[in-house]
A = this chain, B = another copy of it.
Amino acid sequence: MSNRAAQPALKTPVSANGKRGGNGKARDQEQNIEIGLDGLVGHAGYAVRRFQIWIFQDFIRTLAAVDIKPTQYSVLTVIGANPGLSQMAVAKRLGIERARLVHLLDSLEDRKLVRRVQSRTDRRSHALHLTARGEASLRQFKLLAAEHERHVAEKIGAENREQLLRILAPFT
């Protein structure tokens, strides 16, 4: 080793390799050898993190043709189901910051899926609506999202998916 800046690597240049070195001369593919997780199994957070990465990747892949990411989909869905909401209300409902929602809506408005209409009752806030194009698009997105959901069911089993939705319902 010791490439460009090798100081950290050379900090402890000596000492034994330790027993059970996974990559001894028997280099029968280290990645296939069982690497125990020890205390990590039994940790809900680790499993949930790995699962969340997988599920988001599948969502993005399944909706790649329409270029819609999970967060964008959630924003469109909430606006579609509750037209006229303010940005503040949408941000609170979805648990995203209003500062971040600004950019999300900028993008969706550029794509003519959402409109910011000035509210007559509160001149500070915007009433959010789907455009006609937005409503038509959302219908298509929902079909693709349903396909993604089928992927989830195939991956973990339909019954397990149902249980998972039931267990995590309080967080939605």
Contact = CB atoms under 8 A, between A and B. Distances in A.
Number of copies: 2
A100 interface: no
Contacts of A115: 11-12, 15
Interface string A1-19: 1000000110111011111
A25 interface: yes
A39 B47 CA distance: 25
B70 A46 contact: yes
19 contacts: A18-B84, A18-B117, A19-B84, A20-B83, A21-B121, A23-B89, A24-B121, A37-B172, A39-B81, A39-B145, A40-B77, A44-B152, A45-B52, A45-B59, A48-B48, A48-B52, A49-B70, A50-B168, A50-B172
